[in-house]
Amino acid sequence: MAKPRINAGFRRETEARLRRIARVAEVFVDGDAFKAFPRNPEQNAGDEYSVHDDKFITVKQQLFKLKRVEVGDIGVVTWRRFGDGEADQCLPVDNHPLKATKGNHPISKAMAEAFAGGTAVQELEWRGCPLLSVCAPIRDSLDDVVGVVEIFASLIPEQLKVDALDY
């Protein structure tokens, strides 16, 4: 199968839109609540997080609002550092192309930059469709990075929906 052709202008527009949303996420997502919701390995729901915890619900509501900042099909996930060089997906609002199975996965270069306090762009592929992803830090009230929010969108929008709410 031939690789889809990506329109350069659409790619630039998509990157600019994702960067704007990621910047809003940096300010909007409550890092203190994010770092405080408990992981509960005995409970096999919500990626093994206690989904009835008030802090979990608060952050999940913020992520759903974040998806409405700008018009367009986007996906949102958050990550916590877990172990050496691995991340654990938290609050899976949407399916993520790198998250095929439960558990941890290696920290990508863009995620590493976000865990270090920066914002980074990466290209991914999901179901044969190219995606663009922007990773940004989630900070607590002391300005420490406690997680990463990743905003992603298809670069061939008519080919793939990434927003789980649009299905």
Q: Does the pLDDT at position 94 exceed 70? A: no
Report whether pLDDT(134) > 90: yes
CATH architecture of residue range(s) 8-160? 2-Layer Sandwich (3.30)
Of the candidates 17, 56, 22, which has an alpha carbon nearest to the alpha carbon of residue 36?
Answer: 56
| pTM score above 0.75 | yes
Q: Select, from the ranges 5-14, 24-33, 52-61, the one with the highest average predicted confidence (pLDDT).
A: 24-33
128 or 74, greater pLDDT: 74
The proportion of the chain whose per-residue pLDDT surpasses 90, expressed as a percent, equals 34
Q: What is the DSSP code string of 13-71?
A: HHHHHHHHHHHHHHHHS-HHHHHHSPB-TTS-STTTB-TTSHHHHHHHHHHHHHTTSSS
Domain ranges in the chain are 8-160
Structure tokens at 45: 């729901």
